[in-house]
Chains A and B, each alone.
Chain A
Amino acid sequence: MNVQNIHLVTDEAIEKAEAERTASPLAVRNLTVSYGQTPAIFFVDLTVRAGAMTAIVGPNGAGKSTLLKAALDVIKPLAGTVTVFGAPLAEMRDRIAYVPQRASVDWDFPTRVIDVVLMGMYRQLGLLGRVRSKHRAAAMDALDRVGMTDFATRQIGQLSGGQQQRVFLARALAQDADVYVLDEPFAGVDAATERAIIGVLKDLRDTGRTVLAVHHDLATVPDYFDDVVLLNTQIVAAGPVADVFTEDNLQAAYGGRLTTARVDPESVAG
């Protein structure tokens, strides 16, 4: 449970929260992860809103990546449960597409761009399914949406950071999921790539999908996202940008050390 506001919680409130959880594309309860004896995230409750773009922001080391990974069972939490549309994560994996940080990938691996996108279609293909022309067409379509069709046969290690990120996004698009979870999709990419990616993400949102992303740039939060989660080992605040993305909350999340990013009251109050 998050303890930013001390309320005595009524039964109706509990029921309402439970109902929201069941409908939510990704709901996390009591998630706690620690590395050895050091806490990364503690007692995190999060209910992601369907059909919206949600950003997770917070200072370095606040546990943002950890939250995503623990939510998707990429790392094992110490405690906590995760549900996707009310059902356990394990049953609903085909509804989620995950785009990890670029830094964790082996870029020397012998694979081409088109092969990386086809990796995203593992659920459709299975262990031994043949790659047919329809799969290739879907992969090329995904590449087209991120503007990378010309690079289809390039070796992945020869691409720039922005191009690699686009290919990763194409891999996720090929999965045709309902929920897209991205870890720092805009880190280290050029401006053109950033525009392309946010365009694709907004298209996804407009067609009713849900987008959840760890974001590193506070200045662009009001522009890009509908909801925001302020995380600093625990949830400081979560909700629509207009309500939650305030000076006070940011100060609380960044421990009073927020000097660079200025929140423009005009753009937040919207």
Chain B
Amino acid sequence: MGAEFVALSLTPILIGVCVAVACALPGNFLLLRSQALIGDAISHVVLPGIVVAFLLTGTVTTGPMLLGAAGAAVLAVVAIEAIRRLGRIESGAAMGVVFTAMFAAGVLLLERSDTSSVHLDVEHALYGNLESLIWLDATGWASLMDASALAGLPVELPRMALALLVVGAFIALFWRPLALSTFDEGFARGLGLRTGPLGLALVVVSAIAAVAAFDAVGSIIVIAMFICPPAAARMMTNRLGHQVAWSMLFAALAAIIGYVLAGYGPLWIGASASVSAAGMIATVSGVILAVAAMAGPHRTRGS
């Protein structure tokens, strides 16, 4: 496990872990607020956000992409609320209307524009290409200390690490208001906490994680990361802090095991190429959830 590992597998695994943890962190609160499907909505709407950013700027650099995605998330939330209030429509249906329309618009825009130069196409958008985020400039473990080799790191790695940092900082900083407003919103508002903007901020932070993950794992797999590790974690403990810790562990495990199975699994059974790492990561997170659902100590209500 030497030079080849560092060049071909280290960076995808690290990116995968960052994606998984960055999504699992806000996912804990989305789950507890019964907003798990906002993750579904977010992961569909980041696509048009990114495409619009590309059409306006001609590039897919981090700044415009993030702004595009955040803008799309805010637009989606506003639209969903409007539909809910005006039509007195339940939130699931309202979400379904908004995110399918936005996703459809994103796909059509994508198909109609020339994005061949920036690896932005529908397949990518759906399930990314984690396996391709390799570190060609690496010659072995020593390259970690080599500045010129480090310059050749795939840009997705620092980007995802930064997103993880932002998400982690938000969760750490606003831990108390998030816990308070999720448990008892009336009481939180009575304390003067602005629960509306806080909820919106949580959604925006989730969108940031989703868009940073976009390049690596596409949009749909992100949902698995928002939901499965936190859901499995909830069934392991009755304490919020412990739940978040478990979710981070499960997320990292899913990323590592998923990538290894996708990359090396086929080799082990005699096939040639690898299978989708993103898909395998999602699958593994589902297996972890299934195990927790059958054996987790706190898997039923009131336990």
Binding site for B on A (CB under 8 A): 69, 72-74, 90, 93, 96, 98-101, 104-106, 108-112, 115-116, 119, 122-123, 125, 127-128, 155, 157-158, 171, 181
Contacts and interface: CB of A to CB of B under 8 A. Distances in A.
Interface stretch (B38-46, B49-57, B99-107, B171-179): B171-179
A73 B192 CA distance: 8
B112 interface: no
B32 to A, nearest CB: 6
Contacts of A111: 179, 183, 238-240
B190 interface: yes
A268 to B, nearest CB: 32
Q: B interface, by DSSP: helix, strand, loop or mixed?
A: helix
B184 A93 contact: no
B189 interface: yes
Interface in B220-264: 234, 237-240, 242-243
A257 to B, nearest CB: 29
B182 interface: yes
Contacts of B242: 110
B32 A93 contact: no
Contacts of B182: 106, 109
A105 B302 contact: no
Given A108-B301, A110-B237, A157-B301, A116 B192 contact: no
B296 to A, nearest CB: 13
B240 A93 contact: no
Given A104-B184, A111-B183, A158 B302 contact: yes
A98 B187 contact: yes
Given A98-B190, A119-B179, 13 more contacts: A72-B189, A74-B190, A90-B192, A99-B187, A100-B184, A104-B184, A106-B183, A109-B240, A110-B240, A111-B183, A115-B240, A122-B177, A127-B174
20 contacts: A73-B189, A74-B186, A90-B192, A100-B184, A109-B32, A109-B182, A109-B183, A110-B32, A110-B238, A110-B240, A112-B239, A119-B180, A119-B187, A122-B180, A122-B191, A125-B176, A127-B174, A127-B176, A127-B177, A157-B302
Given A110-B237, A111-B239, A104 B185 contact: yes
Nearest to B173: A127
Given A110-B243, A122-B176, A155-B238, A69 B302 contact: no
A96 B301 contact: no
A93 B301 contact: no
Contacts of A106: 32, 182-184
A61 to B, nearest CB: 19
B120 to A, nearest CB: 39
A73 B189 CA distance: 7
Interface of B: 32, 173-174, 176-177, 179-180, 182-187, 189-193, 234, 237-240, 242-243, 301-302
A62 to B, nearest CB: 19
Contacts of A104: 184-186
Contacts of B240: 109-111, 115
B105 to A, nearest CB: 32
Contact of A128 (B173, B180, B183, B237): B173
Contacts of A99: 187
Contacts of B176: 119, 122, 125, 127
A139 to B, nearest CB: 14
Contacts of A127: 173-174, 176-177
Given A125-B176, A128-B173, A116 B190 contact: no
A123 to B, nearest CB: 7
Contacts of B183: 105-106, 109, 111, 116, 119
A93 B194 CA distance: 13
Nearest to B233: A110
Nearest to A106: B183
A122 B177 CA distance: 8
A152 B173 CA distance: 26
Contacts of A116: 183
A183 to B, nearest CB: 8
A100 B238 contact: no
B177 A74 contact: no
A79 B267 CA distance: 70
Given A110-B234, A122-B191, A98 B173 contact: no
Contacts of A123: 191
Contacts of A115: 239-240
Contacts of B189: 72-74
Nearest to A108: B301
A119 B186 CA distance: 13
Nearest to A156: B183
A3 B149 CA distance: 81
B222 to A, nearest CB: 24
A98 to B, nearest CB: 3
Nearest to B243: A110
Interface centre among A73, A96, A106 (most CB of B within 10 A): A106
A100 B190 contact: yes
Contacts of B191: 93, 98, 122-123
Nearest to B239: A110
